[in-house]
Structure 1
Amino acid sequence: MSDRPRVVVSYTQASEFAKDLDKNLLKGRAFAIGASGVAQRDACEVVLRAPDGSELSLLAEAVWIQEEDPGAGVGVQFQPFGDTEKSRLEEFAQQLKNSGAPSPAPTDQAGRSSAPPAEGSQRPSRRPTGRPSSLPPAPRNIHEKVRGLSIRDRQRMARDGNLTERVALERCYSSSVWEYLLQNQSLSASEAARIAKKGNLPHPLMKIILSNAGWLKAGEVQRALLANPRLNGPDIERVLRNLSRADLNRLPQQSGYRPGVRQAAKRLLGK
Structure 2
Amino acid sequence: MSYSQPPQHRSQPQQPYAPAHAPGTRPARNGLGIAALVLGIIGSVSGLIPLLFWLAGILGLIALILGLSGRGRVKRGEATNKGVTTFGAVLGLLALILSVVGAVITFKAVDDAVDSIDKELSGSSASARPGGADNDAQGEDATGGDAPEKDQALTGGDAAVYDDGLEVTVNAPAAYTAGEFAIGHTKGNKAYTVTVVIENKGKEKFDATLVSLEARAGEDGVDAEQIFDEKIGEGFTGTVLPGKKITAEYAFDAPADAGTLTVEVSPDFTLDASQWELKL
Band the TM-score falls in, shorter-chain normalisation: under 0.3
So what's the TM-score if we normalise by structure 2? 0.20
Higher normalized strand content (fraction of residues): 2
So what's the TM-score if we normalise by structure 1? 0.20
Point out the structure with max Rg over C-alpha: 2
